[in-house]
Structure 1
């Protein structure tokens, strides 16, 4: 039977995942999400079935710090997968508490599933290389000289940076951290959505993404608090710095050729101290 949303379903955010076929709120108060076939590699960051496997396995249903919404049903058909989950009211959560939640989640005693995302940054940098790299970034007039030099050095040393990340402890990671995906509360835990890129990643991976999304200062004082409150590994700070630097530069380089580039270059400028630290 072909899938089709019912007339009384209210469309919600469409999301940006490659396998996202739409999200709706039913009259009964359930959220319906449609997944359409896409990337077939279970280790690729955009593996199309991963969100359904997260729901079916319950792997992050009760994890500390960060957890999934409650799923009611997972329905598979010849054309895709339909997820039915609880509706979660948005709750404002400040950046520090989000960081604490991520640090606690990274310490969750999980076993890595065979369908978890791997080598996300390495795969994305390969895409950046195929597009010509960051060669155009240091030429931007709005960038100060220290940032230009740091970007040039980071590109030259990108393989060493990836190797350093690979040597860090691997921890559970949501994989797509930004405020739209971290907007619910269940007691002291944050309810996260869109688990398409869930997997095990270098320590600090999610914190690096958060630093880009909400201008989280990755200073020593914050990390002292995180390490104390979440019993986190000190390697998380280095992993967060490298993840944020590589990701922010990649996004800024990508945006230069887009008709609507957004604020990626501005975010890169704001992260100048972090980029400099990454290559230091």
Structure 2
């Protein structure tokens, strides 16, 4: 469900409402709203609970001067399927986080946009008025940028292992990965377990058939540990996480500024998770981009930087815990990627193979995720012997 621009214009803020937002933003009660305009920004396929993101610009009159301004309006819409705090995509979570004031108490060098207002609307939606990060430098997909983000993520997570209290609100204490896996499996309708889903391999080159047979076998074996992996993630040292670190949500200081600070937007998935999970989701998102550009998955390099960040924060615990969090949370993405791969194969037509390129990229991603799952299972046996699948 999404809120079309025309709907926003029907319920657009009146000038007095916008003036109040600007009073908070510009810290002046003596303010006149001179001009303003707005336009939608962001993805054409937003989060289902995001009814739109809009940039408002204009001029304001202040005592003795005028000032230009810009502010972001993010609309959150109620969704019956995502209306409980235990859901990884609980529709009210970001609004509640901003209302709690938590994002004003983040560790050093981590910043969220300032919030200038949280408004519950008559139609049941929530409007978030947020600081515009347009003046900052958005992260890109380069390895340099990704390594910098991994280091800062380590410092961010590590702060909660070294004295910074974990946030208390109940809407942050849920199993993100457990909820996400459950939702993905429901949407996939057990496709990867259905024999018929694999029959399309017959029309592929022989090398592909062998590869898919291996993927199928490894997937079935790895999924035997799924429940144990999810349980073990809940045993890891707990940290506050953003859980959606990828370039569209990450901003570095202005060009020429330090890269050891990070501004992060979109806190919809934030919560309490295990050490390394933040990096696992980060790496899982990066994998699809790496596959699209024929890049070598840089897991070890990102892990090295994340660990450096943890050490910088003062954490000197068992590195295997971090590796487990990374590999388990990244590897479990297979429940989403493998159905996409099977659907791409099913879409191949005759000798045209119009979906073959997409399938090839998904195959590379699936193989790397299986590598992660297998490493996570090995670490599971090392860290918690006797509790993993196949143990007596």
Residue of structure 2 equivalent to 1:90: 137
Q: Within the alignment, does 1:69 sit opposite 2:86 as a pair?
A: no
Runs of 4+ that moved beyond 6 A: 258-262
Q: Deviations over 1:194-224 (max 9, x none)?
A: 1111110122111001112224414674455
Aligned equivalent of 1:240, options 326, 333, 340? 326
Normalised by the size of structure 1, how large is the TM-score?
0.85
Aligned-partner Cα distance in 2 for 1:116–1:227: 22
Gaps of 5+ in 1: none
Residues matched between the structures, number: 279
Q: 1:26 to 1:128 in 2, by over 3 A?
A: closer
Task: Please say if residues 100 and 230 of structure 1, whose CA atoms lie closer than 8 Å, have aligned partners that are also in contact.
Answer: no
SS at match of 1:175: coil
Higher radius of gyration, 1 or 2: 2
The farther-off stretch of 265-274 and 100-109 is 265-274
Aligned equivalent of 2:47, options 3, 7, 17? 17
Q: 1:225 to 1:103 in 2, by over 3 A?
A: closer
| 1:162-177 alignment, distance < 5 Å | 162-177=230-245
* Greater relative CO (CA pairs within 8 A, separation 6+): 1
Residue of structure 2 equivalent to 1:104: 155
SS at match of 1:257: helix
Aligned-partner Cα distance in 2 for 1:102–1:223: 6
Residue of structure 2 equivalent to 1:217: 299
Q: Deviations over 1:90-146 (max 9, x none)?
A: 333611111112112213323231111511222233234441163369956374766
Residue of structure 2 equivalent to 1:274: 372
| 1:186-225 alignment, distance < 5 Å | 188-214=260-286, 215-218=297-300, 221-222=304-305, 224-225=307-308
Aligned-partner Cα distance in 1 for 2:42–2:173: 24
Normalised by the size of structure 2, how large is the TM-score?
0.63
Residue of structure 1 equivalent to 2:314: 231
Aligned-partner Cα distance in 2 for 1:77–1:227: 41
SS at match of 2:150: helix
Gaps of 5+ in 2: 1-7, 15-35, 58-68, 202-207, 287-296, 348-354, 379-392
Q: Within the alignment, does 1:35 sit opposite 2:76 as a pair?
A: yes
Which one has a larger percent helix, Structure 1 or Structure 2?
Answer: 2
SS at match of 2:137: coil
Could you say what the CA RMSD is over the residues aligned between the two structures, in angstroms?
Answer: 3.1
Structure 1 residue 185: Cα displacement:
3.7
